[in-house]
Amino acid sequence: MTDKEKGLVLAESPSRRSFLGMSSVALATAAFAGLTANAQEKASTQKAEHDHSSSDPGPENKTLLGENPDANTPPPTDHGDIVPIWYSFDLVKKRVEEGGWTHEVTQRVLPSSKEIAGVQMRLTAGSYRELHWHTADEWAYVLTGNARVTVMNPDGTMFIGDVSEGDLWLFPAGYPHSIQGLGPDGTEFLLVFNQGMFSEDGTMLLSETVAHIPPEVLAKNTGLDKSVFAQTPGAPLYIFPGNLPNSLEQDKTEIGGEQVASKYQYTFRMRSMQPTTASQAGEVRVVDSHNFPVSKKVAAALLIIKPGHMREIHWHPNASEWQYYVAGKGRMTVFYPVDNARTMDFSANDVGYVPSNAPHYVENIGDTDLVVLELFAAEEFMDVSLNQWLRRVPSEMLKAHLNIGKEMATRIPAEKLELV
């Protein structure tokens, strides 16, 4: 090709820079058109949701709608779809035994919760949750009453302790343990396991283990005559009535006292600990491996939010959040990409779920304290505050993104408040 021909080709062809420039304009135009269409769609949806279009002259379950109005007719800021973030223990059947009952909310009914499952259990005074162990760590919070718990370490040392309302315990996976209701009226507690598909019906029971080992093997193993094992239950005990135990000190002495005592503490006084943070908005108590060393796979926070106040907008970078609502009335909005937000209302005995890294808040919309447990399948409680982030970026950067000037930005709280 001659120099003249090369010049003609170059003259007739757009330059790389001009081509890229045209592409940028086209892309920007397309992006703007997409944003405009999305905004129009949201505006249309929001208008329809809040005029006569949303009326429902047909049959309605008004009791259910009254409990969760935001689920059926969400606020105009909700958009798109999001994973399930609500369920209730009051919707699952109870397994009732002589001496108490149990029921559970697992991934089977709350499919988004892949990391945590929850169980509620009731034991009357003297009744046992029989000696057993799990494939997952067991974290528990006492809702009412009193209980005695035991757990054995692999080295043979034993922990025995009593717990009351607001206390918690942690039993590591594979560690054999028991729970017994104390006077005057036993106990009820929440169990949390760091496996979404965990089922309380699938635990390793002492009674079942013994029932499925030949008597001659049991005799050889224990040194007892095999006729002794003809008297064992032969069927699962699970929950069963018993007599109230001796005093805690008597039980400790009977098993060997200090010589066999565990060097690890498996219970913790959560509700009575000094608040991690406190203000007129309420109190937050955080328990994780920093102040409860045996809890290496479950972290927790107990929130007491005063009426009209809220858990500040935040997210958790290290784990999804599983919530249990102990008391009061709350509302939560969860945002998740792309452009999805869902608001739900929560009452006592409800379960909430928030995917990791999803921004959310919890607001007290009742006239009494909102009490919420936040649970995480993690060693450490960790959250990121939106307020703190907005204050930490340079003011010009914030103005470019949200059109909030420097003077206005200084009004945003600079420190993490937890509750506002």
pLDDT, tens digit, for every residue of 243-280?
A: 999 999 999 999 999 999 999 999 999 999 999 999 99
Angle at 196 between CA 192 and CA 197, to 5 degrees: 110
Per the annotation, does 212 bind a ligand?
no
Select from 231, 246, 268 the last residue of a domain.
Answer: 268
* Sequence-distant (≥ 6) Cβ neighbours of residue 66 within 8 angstroms: none
- Residue that has been written with the tokens 């992006």 in this structure: 31
In a domain, 210, yes or no: yes
In a domain, 106, yes or no: yes
In a domain, 117, yes or no: yes
Counting runs of H as helices and runs of E as strands, what totals does the chain give?
10, 24
| 323 & 363 share domain | yes
Select from 268, 294, 321 the last residue of a domain.
Answer: 268
Select from 249, 268, 287 the last residue of a domain.
Answer: 268
User: Which helix or strand (DSSP H or E) is residue 270 part of?
Assistant: none
Q: Find the DSSP H helices in 50-101.
A: 62-67, 69-72
Per the annotation, does 290 bind a ligand?
no
| 241 & 282 share domain | no
Residue 168 is part of a domain; what is its CATH number?
Answer: 2.60.120.10
| 398 & 290 share domain | yes
Domain holding 200, by residue range, is 86-268
Per the annotation, does 50 bind a ligand?
no
Backbone φ and ψ for 408, nearest 5 degrees, come out as -65, -35
Measured from the Cβ of residue 192, the count of other Cβ atoms closer than 10 Å reads 25
| 128 & 217 share domain | yes
More confident residue, 223 or 10: 223
Residue 47: the pLDDT is 57
Average pLDDT, the chain: 90
Q: What is the mean pLDDT of residues 64-89?
A: 92
| 399 & 293 share domain | yes
Per the annotation, does 98 bind a ligand?
no
Q: pTM of the entire structure?
A: 0.86
pLDDT band at 2 (very low <50, low <70, confident <90, very high): very low
Per the annotation, does 79 bind a ligand?
no
Highest mean pLDDT among 32-41, 50-59, 159-168 belongs to 159-168
- Say which range, 24-33, 135-144, 334-343, has the weakest mean pLDDT: 24-33
Residue 25: the pLDDT is 43
pLDDT band at 56 (very low <50, low <70, confident <90, very high): confident
DSSP E strands, 62-124: 86-88, 95-97, 100-105, 117-123
* Sequence-distant (≥ 6) Cβ neighbours of residue 141 within 8 angstroms: 166, 167, 168, 189, 190, 192, 270, 300, 324, 373
In a domain, 367, yes or no: yes
| 257 & 346 share domain | no
DSSP sequence for 349-412: TEEEEE-TT--EEEEE-SSS-EEEEEEESSSS---EEHHHHHHHS-HHHHHHHH---HHHHTTS
| 146 & 113 share domain | yes
pLDDT tens, 85-122? 999 999 999 999 999 999 999 999 999 999 999 999 99
| 237 & 100 share domain | yes
In a domain, 108, yes or no: yes
In a domain, 80, yes or no: no
**Residues classed as catalytic:** 374
In a domain, 238, yes or no: yes
Residue 53: the pLDDT is 80
| 203 & 304 share domain | no
The CA distance from 130 to 152, in Å, is 14
Total of domains in the chain:
2
- Residue that has been written with the tokens 């035994």 in this structure: 97
| 349 & 224 share domain | no
| 208 & 327 share domain | no
Residue 353: the pLDDT is 98
In a domain, 263, yes or no: yes
Q: How far apart are the first and last CA of the chain?
A: 74
| 102 & 155 share domain | yes
Instruction: Determine contact, residues 146/182, Cβ cutoff 8 Å.
Output: yes
338 upstream amide cis, omega within 30 of 0: yes
